[in-house]
Homo-oligomer: A and B are copies of this chain.
Amino acid sequence: MTENPSHNRPYSGVIARLKGAGLRPTRQRIALAKLLFEGENRHVTAEDLHGEARAAGVSVSLATIYNSLHQFTDAGLMREVVVEAGRSYFDTNTGDHHHFFHEDTGSLEDIPGDQINVSELPAAPAGKSVQRVDVIVRVSA
């Protein structure tokens, strides 16, 4: 079996990842994690992911999509990006980077961290610490 390509042992990496995050590897979480973490980094909404799961033949309720997305985010496996009131994107790229937001299509595009430099940041207000700095470059035609 050692010659099997990855699609023949589809669960290994994802299960380890879930366990490492302290999340029980349930059928639903495994399926969603596969969709999210195997392959390229992506930006998805809850509805997007719900549709993909259905398309992949996996039956998952929307409530579970929301739960999982938040659990993955809390566990540091993804992060939430807010660019438009009323809709949240979840980003599988947790590394140092920022975003272009295409106002006409509503889509996000990564900007690698080394392509943006934020300097002269003022100190956090007393007693507070900086959790994250988000840079959103809004573009349109």
Contact = CB atoms under 8 A, between A and B. Distances in A.
A129 B139 contact: yes
A130 B109 CA distance: 13
A57 interface: no
Interface residues on A, range: 35 or more
A116 B135 CA distance: 12
Given A84-B82, A86-B86, A111-B122, A141 B117 contact: no
Contacts of A80: 85
A130 B139 contact: yes
Interface in A36-75: none
Interface of A: 80, 82-88, 100, 102-103, 109, 111, 115-122, 124-125, 127-141
